[in-house]
Structure formats: C-alpha cells, structure tokens
Amino acid sequence: MSFFSTRGGACVTASQAVLWGLAKDGGLYVPSMFPQLPQDKIAAFCQMSYQQVAERVLRCFLEDYTISEIEEAVTAAYAAPAFDDPAIAPLQKLEGGIHVLELFHGPTLAFKDIALKLLPYLVKLAAEKNDEHREVSILVATSGDTGKAALEGFKDVPGTSCTVYYPENGVSDMQRLQMVTTEGANTHVIGVRGNFDDAQTGVKRLFSDPAFYEKMDGMGKLPSSANSINFGRLVPQVVYYFTAYAQLVSSGAVRMGQPVNFVVPTGNFGDILAGYYAKRMGLPVGKLICASNRNNVLSDFFTDGVYYTHRTFFTTMSPSMDILISSNLERLLYESADRDGRLVKSWMELLKDCGSFSIGAQRLSELQKTFAAGFADDQMTADEIRRVYELTGYLMDPHTAVASHVLAEYRESTGDHTTAVIIATASPYKFASDVLASLLGPALSEGLSPFDCADRLHAHTGVPIPRQISELKTLPVRHTAVCDKGDMEAALLHELGQA
Ligand SMILES: *Cc1c(COP(=O)(O)O)cnc(C)c1O
C-alpha cells in the first residue's frame, strides 16, 4: 500500500508519510486503499489484548514496518505504569445501551496519549528506514493538551527530542504545571510572552525558514512536527474502535456483526475520522455522530454541506474543541470527492480565499448515511455533566459531556436507539473546577485552586484523583525558559545547545 496526497500528488511509503507529516502540495497523506478486516478476524479480537489488536490493525497500514518492529513499538508505548489500566481503553456501561470508552488512562489524562505514546517509535523507525541519521527534533506549539502528551511521548526516546512552546499566560495552571515538571533528558519547554497564535505562528515560521533548517542540520538535527495531521497519529486511533467493539461482543452487549453507533467529541476531526477508517475496514459501525461545542462549524457542515469559517470564535469549557479550521476533515472530503484530489484542492482554495465551500446536496446526502451531528453550548454541557452523574453516578469531563448531550438529542430526534459508545477523551480531574461547578454550582469553585477543586470533587463523588494530578503538587519544576515571541529560535538553539 502507498500513500497519496489529498490534493492529488505524492505516492510515498507509510514510513515516509510518518516522517514527513504533510505532503509537499500542502495536502494530507491518505492510504491508497482501505485494508479489509473480515468478521472472523474481528471476532478473534475478543480474545486479544489491546496491544495485540493494535499490532493487527497497524500492520494493515504500515506495510514497510516489520511485524516485530510494530510489536516492539506497541509493547513499549502501552506498558505500565504510563497507562494505569491494563485494558488501555476500558469500556464502562451506563444505562439504555450506552457505553463509555475511556481514553484517558495515559500519562497526561487525555486521549491524545494513545497516539502520542506510539508516534515517537513510528517516527524513529521511519528515520532509520529512510536513512535519516539526524536527530528528529519535534517542535510543538500548544494551547494545553497536545504539548504535554508530545513531551511524555518523546521523553527519552533515543534519536529524538521534543520542544514545546506554550503561551506563558495562556494555559491553565494545571496544564502549565504538567508541562514544566516533565522529566527526560531530551525534553524542552519554553514559555512565550504572547498568546497561542504568537506561539503557533512562530513555530510555523521556523518550519518555513531554510536558514533555520540549515542551522539545525549543522547541529545534526531534522526539525519535524507531531501535530494531528500526521498519519502516524491517526492510525493508532483506529485501534480503539475495534477494541471497543470487541469488548461489546465479549460482554454480550451486541452480537458479532450487529452495528454500533459511536459519538465523538470533535475538534480537529482526527478522532472521528479514525472511526470512519475503522468502518471502511469492515467494522460494523452504524452512525458516527460528530459532537461539537459552541464552535459548531462541523455540525453545521453535516447539516447543510457548507463549511463556513467566517464566524465568531468562542472560548468554552471544552477548550480542546475550540477550533474553526478542522484539518483532518480534508481526509473525509477526499473520500467524499471520490478521491479526486483536484476537487479537494479547489475546496481548500475556496476555504482559504473566501472562508467557505459547499460540497453540494448529492455528496452531503451520501455523507449523512454515515454521519450525524449536533452540538452543545457550555450551559448544556454543564447540565449534562450533572444529569449523567445524578442518573448513573458516572462523572464526565466537559468534552465527553458534549458528546453525551449530542447522543441524547440524536436518540430523541431520530428514535435510533442502537447500542452506542461515547468516546471519553479526558479525565474529569483535568477540568476539575468546571466539573465541580457543573455539579454543585459556580459559587462553590470560585477562588479555589485547581487542587482544592479536585479535592472537593473527590469528596463529593468518591472518584479517585489520578496520581498525575496529585503528584503535580510536589514535582520539582524543571523547565523555566521564557522568551519574547520574536526570540523563539534563539531560545530553542540555546536549549538544544545545552543538552
Ligand atoms: C484533542 C481533543 C479533542 C478533539 O479531538 P480531535 O481529534 O481534534 O477531533 C477532544 N477532547 C479532548 C480532551 C482533546 O484533547
């Protein structure tokens, strides 16, 4: 199997797609076909560990990696104690044929760990396969979750380093503490005096500066990116759709072959796209339900076929979904366009020049056979956290609650009560003050530190506080670098020179 660009060009191997991230024409790498997993193979997953299923699924796409390379990468990525549940992605049962797939048992308590724990191994192998002997130097600009997950993933992986830029005053206390206490000899964290856009623009500028590449080359380093457009971040996410289904079959919740709906809290469209890939590979998926917060550009798209970004950007209590340009949608558009790269390219040009494009009624109704969509604003999200807790005793983080709300609305409006899986993307303790306020009213969390909110939440619900949260209180701060937004390159070279 080879990999094409969504904009028409390119034919590269899997390892090249992983190493290079983005195609030269600006498109995203997509597999030349969807490998098929027949039902007897999926049924066999019921007897396998998460790691064994991961190996079977990854093998389908990563043809120029050997089976033992994939095996070793998966074993190293998902070992204890980084993941605190042996199932890696355990499934919890709620009421009415609704299940929750918990993807927050990794080191940073958000679902990005599932991909970012594995990606470094795939990148390192990709470098070897393509005779790349320089150190792969990952640069990340983050508004919170991705930075810490990338640091934990690349920490102490030989042949790599990871540098994260965060807006000095633009992340939550918990998120900043998570980053600046990161261990490992190859991790660097730099605060930028500016906002997230300044950090992001600064990193993009470095990636497009030949003089910077030359300087890095002189130090034996190849700059690279770990953001969610890399195919190496997508393929590990296909796995948990299969393991979720296998767990449902094992527990008797569904019979092998019976369709299951998945509802996914969506920002950059990576997570739900992985579900679409699983369906195309043969997993019995009914509907994929796309859940947005108030930045509901995607739920509008699935309703009228128009992608429209000239709208107000809202800051919400589900910040990881605060996004208006959803990069991975381009991979779905490629399928919707019957793999016509020129058509995708023209849509992307319209988006850039006019802020919108339309796929037309025919293509929309085709997509609607698979996708449904809805959204929840902050009030609906808070109400859903409380409703679910009072009804079932299950505590959701705000992102997961957005999905839960959208599922409830979907069931109500369609009458489709197919067994459903809510993808739970973060631990409620990562957003302790908002979750506490949702349960007991905003007055209660006002003026409290995030640790106090976590303690109150624990006292009220009995849900254990993950050690990753409590240990933050005592871990030493290891990263103190701060720079002006014009000095990001100098700060990086200083950090790397010291290492
Ligand atoms: C990144 C993230 C999302 C959105 O995932 P996408 O793949 O970007 O759609 C949802 N919830 C949490 C907690 C996240 O960190």
Taking only the tens place, the pLDDT of each residue in 111-147 is: 999 999 999 999 999 999 999 999 999 998 887 788 9
Ligand 1, pocket-test mutation among 399, 404, 423, 435, most atoms within 8 A of CB? 399
Taking only the tens place, the pLDDT of each residue in 346-374 is: 999 999 899 999 999 999 999 999 999 99
Average pLDDT over residues 415-425: 98
Question: From the alpha carbon of 271, which atom of ligand 1 is closest?
Answer: 7
Ligand 1, pocket-test mutation among 146, 148, 263, 321, most atoms within 8 A of CB? 321
Residues with CB under 6 A from ligand 1: 110-112, 145, 228, 265-271, 320-321, 399, 425-426
The yes-or-no verdict on residue 499 having pLDDT over 70 is: no
Q: What percent of the chain has pLDDT over 90?
A: 80
Ligand 1, pocket-test mutation among 103, 143, 299, 425, most atoms within 8 A of CB? 425
Residue 229 or residue 474, greater confidence: 474
Taking only the tens place, the pLDDT of each residue in 268-294 is: 899 999 999 999 999 999 999 999 999
Residues 6+ apart with CB under 8 A from 99: 91, 92, 93, 244, 248, 253, 419, 420, 421, 422
The yes-or-no verdict on residue 199 having pLDDT over 90 is: no
Q: What integer pLDDT is reported at residue 498 of this predicted model?
A: 65
Nearest residue by C-alpha to atom 1 in ligand 1: 320
Q: Are 89 and 113 in contact (CB under 8 A)?
A: no
If residue 186 lies in a helix (H) or strand (E), which one and from where to where?
none
Question: Which residue type occupies 289?
Answer: I
69-102: b or e for each residue (b if 16 or more CB lie within 10 Å)? Answer: bbbebbeebbeeebbeeeebbbbeebeebbbbbb
pTM above 0.85, yes or no: yes
Scan for tokens 């056979």, then name that residue. 369
> Per-residue DSSP letters for 308-324?
E--S-----SSGGG--S
* The two three-digit tokens of residue 179, written as one number: 């980053």
Task: Please give the distance, rounded to the nearest whole angstrom, from the Cα atom of residue 113 to the centre of ligand 1.
Answer: 11
Q: What integer pLDDT is reported at residue 24 of this predicted model?
A: 80
Question: From the alpha carbon of 270, which atom of ligand 1 is closest?
Answer: 7
Task: Please give the distance, rounded to the nearest whole angstrom, from the Cα atom of residue 400 to the centre of ligand 1.
Answer: 10
Question: From the alpha carbon of 265, which atom of ligand 1 is closest?
Answer: 10
* The two three-digit tokens of residue 167, written as one number: 């807006």
> Per-residue DSSP letters for 215-282?
HHHHTTEEEE--STTSHHHHHHHHHHHHHHHHHHHHTTSS-TT--EEEEEE-SSSHHHHHHHHHHHTT
